[in-house]
Structure 1
Amino acid sequence: MNYQSRIDALRHTLASLHLDALLVSYLPNIFYLSGFTGTTAWILVGKKQLLFLTDSRYHERFREEVFPEYELVDFYQESVGAKLSEVAKRFGWRRVGFEAQHLSYAEAEEMRQQAAECELSPRSGIIESMRLCKDEEEITRIREAIRIKEEVFQELMGALTTGVTEADMAAEFEYRIRKRGVQAASFSPIIAFGPNSAKPHAGFSEQELIPGVPLTFDLGVVYEGYCSDMTRTVFYGGASPGWEEIYGIVRNAKESAAAAAAPGVACAEVDRVARDLITAEGYGSNFGHGLGHGVGVEVHEQPRVNSRSKEVLQPGMVFTIEPGIYVPGQGGIRIEDMYLVTERRVERLNALGTDVVVIK
């Protein structure tokens, strides 16, 4: 990863905001700027300085993972504000930004009280906006995360049988992805059989497989720091009357939205295309969530593809399209793929098809 170019871009932004430095506390942003995959760290990016604050548990990981231009600062159970004040005095920093949306009010106030040597400036979305458009190396990692997830999903379909539970399938998924060397699932698996599939974020339970009704699998993995996210709804032993028709509506909504997406198109417009189609079929009230979201270092990030979004699709963005129809007490259908915005169109990143799948 070209961490230097990211740091240079951040420094350019800080200069435009008249900030001497930025305190980064949010771990996904720390990873994006340094490569660190641990769970305890802060970084300070100044005009010429790069400081990495962590404790002795992560010193060796720092040496193995972190962009070598960072200076390691041992930091354990100390006041962030006091440390910041010490560093600000050392480098002559007057005005330091911090990630306001990732600190609680109490944390921010405590930091303000102890950072006597500098003015603290709350900022939001600086690094998140940098993460919006992916470079080629990021896209390569996302493609591999998708490939692994699809490979494991196909194996899970071969393991579906009478008596298997949602929890059984979740355990199989976790085991199989880790055997392939990925870091983790990008979120807790959503495996929902029958009536549970009417809950968009059902999780998983001890519910056994039910023939003839929707079986929803919403899965993703993290590969070298980058996520994938895919949903498929399948049937076992056949589909009860009405479900294939609903499946067709959802699939058509997804494909129509994808056809409407392109550089320069508003995310809200992409959402509208799918939503209007589902509403015209009489299921508008059964589609309550947004159409999609960005995917990258986090499985849910910008851009947001929903009716309230103000964002516009740009080359390099990676996002999902995932319409659904949910019938309370009976079941739900959702189909989700990931897309890359190129210079002229959007590219579907998934290889798996979206035809109705019936496991015999």
Structure 2
Amino acid sequence: MARFLVLGGTAWLGREVAEEAVRAGHEVTVLARGESGPPPAGVRVVRADRSSPGAYAEVDGEWDVVVDVARQPSHVRGAVAALGPRTGTWVFVSSCSVYAGHDQPGAAESAPLLPPSETDEDGFETYGERKVACEQHVLAALPDRALVARAGLIGGPGDVSDRTGYWPLRFAHPATTDGSVLVPDSTVTTQLVDSRDLAAWLVRSGAQGANGVVNASGPTLPLAEHLAAARRVAGHEGELVAVPQEWLAEHSVAPWSGERSLPMWLPVPEYAGFMARDTSAAQTLGLVTRPLEDTLEDVLEWELRQGPGRPRRAGLSPSEERELLVRARGDEDLP
């Protein structure tokens, strides 16, 4: 049994890590503000704001493993200063967004990074730069005792970003009565890691004292295969209306996320490697991922439990999709 401290532990991935550590028989403490939901069962809870002086005063003693998912450099800098000297292994969850380029499929951890940014102001525009700065703080403080996991796209039940749930839900409930669905005609690949698989690997790796910098994601699949898996899970048999990326851009459909977007799609060639990273180092350290259909099936079940009223962070609304289908098919009317 190891002593685990999870910095966070009440939001999605942090909660999965805490729950997995409890299931593995470890003694688990979570430090969080408590604003992202109730803590997992079986953990000790320390409520603290990491922006405040003395945030780590109540997590005294030695820690076998600290797991941190922060994206604010000041939070990471303060944590490693306060806890690093009394921690065995530091597990930091970073992101493949730290890389300066995303056009080369198969790129490994040695690929060039973005310049670091010490700003704590949240936002997608500086996300990668802030994660670079966080990595640097961890590796400078614990060069031989840190595992930096550059996660790819994380999916699974609880994904409120809508990037993994959009397609199985849309195929299960098409926007049209004839079941037709608008999809990108693209050669881009997808690379998804289930949050539960990632959490289990992070806990095992931390307990075993693993270290290094690794890309952590699942197998690389063509977008068409990803969509086919989502269709099978949803039992969809309607028409796929495939349109090229140029058509989507002309009709103001955004890639990846946000309003009026199509998740999982990214333009190529500039993003041909974004979800095609070399993950062999993580596999060597024991990362195992479940079949994509299992993840999508569980995501669809979770989406259906949430009901239709949840605000969406990505995808096309039914009315937007119907309008686009009319234009794509040249129909004057649409069932």
TM range (shorter): 0.3 to 0.5
Looking at both structures, which has the greater relative contact order when contacts are Cα pairs under 8 Å and sequence separation is at least 6? 2
TM-score, normalised by the number of residues in structure 1 = 0.32
In the superposition, the TM-score normalised over structure 2's length comes to 0.34
Select the structure of larger CA radius of gyration.
Answer: 1
